């Protein structure tokens, strides 16, 4: 069997609702749309935790966050946890990470053979929440409404600097794989190119800002006042200051315009990586996946950012195109934990190679147009702005949300896609609601999980204090580079170097 290459193009905080491929009437995403037009679009794909680091650790490990204690943005991703990068390396792949993965801890590669950029966020325990003071804001790194109010246009930001570097490094790594293949080394590869956009701050480059007009920007479809929110949403609303710092219509519109502009900016990166695959002759042998770590409420329900299990926050785009993948759309619920077994399946691996139990299933049957009896996604949230774990079960058209101190929530997305009506106490849904409640009780122990979350928080805060005092080395990744062996140097024949770097190589009689 020919092992396909695997390239994951990951956005940060991209709700599928804001792409052309998923039906947005204004969004300009031609490269994502083109992949969807020739591949499989998953219409009910979810993150497993609506926050950056936990979501990414589930994506990498194929395990839910409660299994690996990946609770929040300062939870360590343990080096002993196998990832798809480990498994694909075992199956003969060369692996690379370009961009953000928000690894926390001293292991900053987690199985990737090559890591060609640093990360954009800290890799230590600085962002640890405190569930024993769950209502207190940590102003240094909590989201707030000032981010929305400052939305607009700029020639450069730290985020565009970063994403431009991620694109350049990813494209250069791919061209090197083309050079390897031209020299006779056709090793399959897996690359994750992970960008920070369209994550807030909502600030866009002029050329992308100018793709849109204010008059074309749609406003939130369904908003709620602080008093009308469910208890968990009210805690989130308070935590991000949205309940007491009002936004004008113009500020909301400007933020949504900048967000769409940054979606188009991310789309341009998708186009650049796909073109690089085309340039090296590997596009037809590469499974390309476009996805994200979570979405963005962007004013829906009066909420912003993520940290909840409503559709704009918890759903992610998932588009797969490449060899053996058919053109189509699937409604089966799935999630990011399903990608690890999907990659192993595509690469010819088998479940017996797994070092730990996983919580996902392969999506290759769906991608090939086959039936899949599983129609389920599981979510867990154990981070800031809640004193207890929050759980989600999406099965078929129903979504159930549970947090121990709060009333249960049940939504039928087939008739209520905006989740306006909580059906948990509706007699017509009594049987389903009771079944979900029983399942939550069987799956999770709220109190035990809460105790473990608090335990790790105390431990990490103590360690962070010691690290701030000078104990240990910084964990932030600094890509190694030996410039004395790059380009042309005195110890090499420049004509040999030129021949090595030229791609495609100059044809010879032998070729």
Answer whether the bond into residue 504 is a cis peptide, omega within 30°: yes
Residue whose pair of structure tokens reads 């495609």 in the numeric block: 504
Which runs of consecutive H residues, i.e. helices, occur in 240-350?
249-279, 311-314, 339-346
In angstroms, rounded to a whole number, what is the distance separating the alpha carbons of residues 291 and 234?
29
Catalytic position from the list 102, 110, 143, 199? 102
**CB distance 115 to 96 below 8 Å:** yes
Closest CA to 188 of 57, 289, 280: 280
In angstroms, rounded to a whole number, what is the distance separating the alpha carbons of residues 472 and 469?
9
Q: What is the dihedral of CA 98, 104, 107, 112, to 10 degrees?
A: -30
In angstroms, rounded to a whole number, what is the distance separating the alpha carbons of residues 3 and 286?
9
Between the CA of residue 261 and those of 146, 152, 210, 258, 477, what are the distances in Å? 19, 10, 8, 5, 29
Between the CA of residue 258 and those of 33, 53, 182, what are the distances in Å? 20, 24, 42
Catalytic position from the list 47, 52, 190, 334? 52
**CB distance 385 to 239 below 8 Å:** yes
Phi and psi (nearest 5°) for 359?
-110, 5
Respond yes or no: is residue 52 known to be catalytic: yes
In angstroms, rounded to a whole number, what is the distance separating the alpha carbons of residues 458 and 443?
26
**CB distance 249 to 292 below 8 Å:** no
In angstroms, rounded to a whole number, what is the distance separating the alpha carbons of residues 346 and 3?
7
Close Cβ partners of 358 (under 8 Å, ≥ 6 residues apart): 61, 62, 63, 337, 340, 341
User: Which residues are identified as catalytic?
Assistant: 52, 102
């Amino acid at each position: 069997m020919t092992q396909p290459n695997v390239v994951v193009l990951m956005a940060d905080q991209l709700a599928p609702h804001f792409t052309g491929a998923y039906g947005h009437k204004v969004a300009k995403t031609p490269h994502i749309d083109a992949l969807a037009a020739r591949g499989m679009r998953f219409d009910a794909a979810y993150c497993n935790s609506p926050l950056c680091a936990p979501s990414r650790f589930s994506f990498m490990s194929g395990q839910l966050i409660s299994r690996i204690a990946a609770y929040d943005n300062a939870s360590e991703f343990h080096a002993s946890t196998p990832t798809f990068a480990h498994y694909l390396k075992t199956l003969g792949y060369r692996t690379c990470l370009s961009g953000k993965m928000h690894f926390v801890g001293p292991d900053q590669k987690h199985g990737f053979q090559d890591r060609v950029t640093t990360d954009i966020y800290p890799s230590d325990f600085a962002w640890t929440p405190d569930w024993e003071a769950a209502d207190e804001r940590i102003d240094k790194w909590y989201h707030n409404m000032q981010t929305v109010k400052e939305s607009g246009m700029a020639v450069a930001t730290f985020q565009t600097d970063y994403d431009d570097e991620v694109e350049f490094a990813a494209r250069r790594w791919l061209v090197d794989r083309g050079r390897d293949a031209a020299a006779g080394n056709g090793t399959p590869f897996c690359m994750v190119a992970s960008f920070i956009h369209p994550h807030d701050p909502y600030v866009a480059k002029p050329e992308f800002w100018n793709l849109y007009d204010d008059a074309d920007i749609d406003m939130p479809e369904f908003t709620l006042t602080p008093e009308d929110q469910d208890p968990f949403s009210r805690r989130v609303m308070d935590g991000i200051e949205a309940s007491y710092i009002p936004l004008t219509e113009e500020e909301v519109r400007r933020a949504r315009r900048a967000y769409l502009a940054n979606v188009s900016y991310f789309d341009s990166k998708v186009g650049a990586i796909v073109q690089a695959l085309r340039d090296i002759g590997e596009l037809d042998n590469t499974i390309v996946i476009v996805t994200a770590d979570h979405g963005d409420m962007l004013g829906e329900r009066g909420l912003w950012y993520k940290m909840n299990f409503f559709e704009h926050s918890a759903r992610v785009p998932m588009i797969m195109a490449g060899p053996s993948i058919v053109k189509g759309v699937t409604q089966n619920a799935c999630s990011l934990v399903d990608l690890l077994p999907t990659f192993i399946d595509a690469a010819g691996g088998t479940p017996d190679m797994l070092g730990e139990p996983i919580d996902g299933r392969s999506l290759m049957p769906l991608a090939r147009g086959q039936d899949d009896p599983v129609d389920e996604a599981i979510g867990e949230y154990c981070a800031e702005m809640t004193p207890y774990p929050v759980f989600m079960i999406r099965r078929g058209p129903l979504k159930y949300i549970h947090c121990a101190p709060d009333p249960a929530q049940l939504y039928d997305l087939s008739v209520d896609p905006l989740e306006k009506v909580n059906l948990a106490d509706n007699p017509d849904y009594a049987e389903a609601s009771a079944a979900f409640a029983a399942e939550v009780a069987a799956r999770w122990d709220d109190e035990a999980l809460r105790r473990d979350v608090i335990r790790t928080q105390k431990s990490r805060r103590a360690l962070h204090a010691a690290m701030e005092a000078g104990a240990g080395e910084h964990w932030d990744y600094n890509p190694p580079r030996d410039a004395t062996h790059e380009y042309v140097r005195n110890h090499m024949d420049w004509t040999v170097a030129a021949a090595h770097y030229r791609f495609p190589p100059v044809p010879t009689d032998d070729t």
